C-alpha cells in the first residue's frame, strides 16, 4: 500500500453544522468511520491531502488515529453542489485480506469498425476484491468490433482475484452505426431512388416519342 495513503485523523467530540463549518474553514474535512460492529468514530481529516486522494474511485486510506493504524475505504463523499467543496466523508473499516464489494470504473480502449461508435451503457461494474488490491478500472477493448456487437459484464476480463458481482447479462458496451449516419444513408438512398425513377420516366418518354 502506498505511503501517500497514510493520513493522520483527529478524533472529534463536537458535532453539528456549525462545528463542521469551522472544521472546513480550518482546512479539515469531517468524517465518520464505521463497520465491523464497532462504534462509529467521528474524525477530522486533512482537507488538501484527502481531497487529492479521493479523486481516485474507492480510495483506501491508512488512518493514524491516536497512533493506531486503521484501514478505511471511502464509501461516500458529500460535496457542496455549487462550490464542489468536500463537506463530509463516510469511511468503512476494512482489514488486510478482507474482500469488499466496490463499483469499479469501466474504461473503453481501441477503435471499433470504421463508421461505427462504441457506446458505454454502464460506466461501472461491481466487483468483489481484496480491500488492499482494489483495481483502478476495468478495461474493455472495442478494437475492430462491428455494428451490432454487444459486450456484457460476463465478457469482461477481470483483474486477478476479482469476482463479478454485477449480473453477468448486464450490457456494458454496444457498438452501432450512429443515428445521424443512418439518416444520411437513408437520405442518399431516397435521393438515388428518385434519380433512378426520373431517369426511368425520361427513358419511357423518349421511347414513346420515337414510336410516334
CATH number (3.40.50.970, 2.40.240.10, 3.40.630.30, 2.40.50.140) of 3-95 reads 2.40.240.10
d(CA 7, CA 27): 14
Q: For the whole model, what pTM was predicted? A: 0.75
* pLDDT one-digit tens code per residue, 14-40: 777 778 888 888 999 999 999 988 889
Nearest partner of 58 among 107, 124, 120, judged by Cα? 124
Give the pLDDT band of residue 207 (cuts 50, 70, 90). low
Domain spanning 100-176: CATH superfamily: Ribosomal protein L25, C-terminal domain (2.170.120.20)
d(CA 181, CA 116): 9
Look at residue 80 in the predicted model and tell me its pLDDT.
87
Amino acid at each position: 500500500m502506498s505511503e501517500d495513503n497514510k493520513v493522520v485523523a483527529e478524533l472529534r467530540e463536537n458535532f453539528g453544522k456549525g462545528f463542521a463549518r469551522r472544521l472546513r474553514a480550518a482546512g479539515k474535512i469531517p468524517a465518520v468511520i464505521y463497520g465491523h460492529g464497532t462504534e462509529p468514530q467521528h474524525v477530522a481529516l486533512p482537507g488538501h491531502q484527502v481531497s487529492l486522494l479521493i479523486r481516485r474511485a474507492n480510495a483506501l486510506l491508512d488512518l493514524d488515529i491516536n497512533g493506531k493504524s486503521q484501514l478505511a475505504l471511502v464509501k461516500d463523499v458529500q460535496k457542496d453542489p455549487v462550490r464542489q467543496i468536500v463537506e463530509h466523508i463516510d469511511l468503512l473499516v476494512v482489514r488486510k485480506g478482507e474482500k469488499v464489494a466496490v463499483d469499479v470504473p469501466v474504461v473503453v480502449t481501441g477503435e471499433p469498425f470504421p463508421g461505427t461508435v462504441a457506446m458505454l451503457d454502464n460506466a461501472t461494474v461491481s466487483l468483489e476484491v481484496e480491500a488492499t488490491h482494489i483495481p483502478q478500472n476495468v478495461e474493455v477493448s472495442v478494437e475492430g468490433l462491428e455494428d451490432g456487437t454487444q459486450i456484457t459484464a460476463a465478457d469482461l476480463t477481470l483483474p486477478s482475484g476479482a469476482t463479478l458481482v454485477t449480473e453477468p447479462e448486464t450490457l456494458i458496451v454496444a457498438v452501432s452505426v450512429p443515428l445521424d449516419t443512418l439518416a444520411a444513408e437513408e437520405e442518399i438512398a431516397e435521393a438515388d431512388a428518385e434519380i433512378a425513377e426520373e431517369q426511368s420516366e425520361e427513358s419511357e418518354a423518349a421511347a414513346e416519342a420515337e414510336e410516334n
